Amino acid sequence: MDILWFLQRRLRFISDLYDTAIAPFQETMRKIEAGEEPFIDGRDPEYASEPAFLNEYLEAHDSVEVLGQWCLCMVHASLKAFLEEYVAEMARDYRSSLHDLSTRLGAKKGKSGFERYRLLFLEDLYIDWAKGPVKLAELEQINLTRDDLIHNVDVTTNAVYKNDKHAERHPEGLFTDEMWANMGMPTKIKVDREQLTNALNIVDSFCAWLEGIRLRYREHVKALA
């Protein structure tokens, strides 16, 4: 099965979904800033204590941020699904030696699912992720950011922050809100178009490299011997 084709189709879908979903909220913010209908400020400036339509603007802004966050979760899920299918394909193609890959994966002692897969590939498939086209720290940040987006939610805000472990390992990470960082608060997570595109490219490049090895796996193993 051409699992890379399916992965790349998912990544294109995520990218297109993001642009389509944020468009109405971006248009709301633009209209508020431009003072266009229906956001015309008819107040007496002398008694205007805050910007007009502030709540509407903040809600639209938060909506764009949340859509970026959930698209990143989809990128992470796509990578995880690719790795799951990759392991299954290897077990089917090399039954004599790799039939029990899923059992081996479950026995790995990594601190996260990401780390267990990395160890399985390194120790059982002889594929060293550190030799791939993307940095391990970048893959790790996608994983850690997804974990924060799911598990580090605060009911009082739509913003999400890095947990202590994430902030310590990657104080200036791929998904850091630079505006907040410049104010001395570097742990707020931000996933805008540029950051989402970066994540999409990281996963695409990494999985294309892995698939290239799978398709010539015997040659890969012989080269290591």
Q: Which domain holds residue 62?
A: 3-224
3-state helix, strand, coil in the chain (%, to 5): 70, 5, 25
Closest CA to 113 of 83, 133, 151: 83
Q: What is the pTM of this model?
A: 0.94
Q: How many domains is the chain partitioned into structurally?
A: 1
| Share above pLDDT 70 across residues of the chain, in percent, rounded to a whole number | 100
Residue 90 in contact with residue 215, Cβ under 8 Å?
Answer: no
For residues 69 and 84, what is the distance between their CA atoms, to the nearest angstrom? 23
Average pLDDT value for residue range 69-87: 98
pLDDT at 146: 97
Residue 147 in contact with residue 204, Cβ under 8 Å?
Answer: no
For residues 13 and 223, what is the distance between their CA atoms, to the nearest angstrom? 37
pLDDT at 181: 75
Closest CA to 202 of 149, 125, 146, 164: 146
Report pLDDT digits (tens) over 114-131: 999 999 999 999 999 999
